[in-house]
Amino acid sequence: MTSWPALAVLLLAAAAPIAASAQDDGRPVLGAGRSDQDQARAAVRAGRQAPLSKVLAMIAARTPGRHLNTTMGDSGGRPAYFVQWQMPNGRVKVFVVDAETGAMIGEQGG
């Protein structure tokens, strides 16, 4: 019989390669780590990345609804924000925004 702590260790060990493979292919991974957030803040301070607050203000100005979540990822070889936005009808759109320029790249869903 396996104890609960041992089972937890086995489950975590099995999940690690899955999480790593999702990051390797450039897709955004929910629950970005603390170092990812620190790197994003440093890039904004250095002027290499658009502040998320400006990205969210741009989306809010053109699309009614509310911000749900944002992850960082890659779109066409460039760093991108993937902004989950809930529309007034309850549907969720994902806006893809170039993280360096703040320009809208695309939309999914909604």
Report yes or no on 1 lying in a domain: no
pLDDT in tens, the chain (110 residues): 545 554 444 444 444 444 444 444 555 555 555 666 777 778 788 878 999 999 999 999 999 999 999 999 999 999 999 999 999 999 999 999 999 999 999 999 87
Q: Which CATH number fits the domain that encloses residue 48?
A: 3.10.450.40
Structure tokens at 21: 């493979």
How far from the centroid of its chain's Cα atoms is residue 53's Cα? Answer: 14
Please state the domain count of the chain.
1
Q: Which domain holds residue 72?
A: 28-109
Report yes or no on 9 lying in a domain: no
pTM: 0.65
d(CA 50, CA 78): 13
Report yes or no on 42 lying in a domain: yes
Q: What angle do CA 43, 84, 58 make, to 5 degrees?
A: 65
Report yes or no on 73 lying in a domain: yes
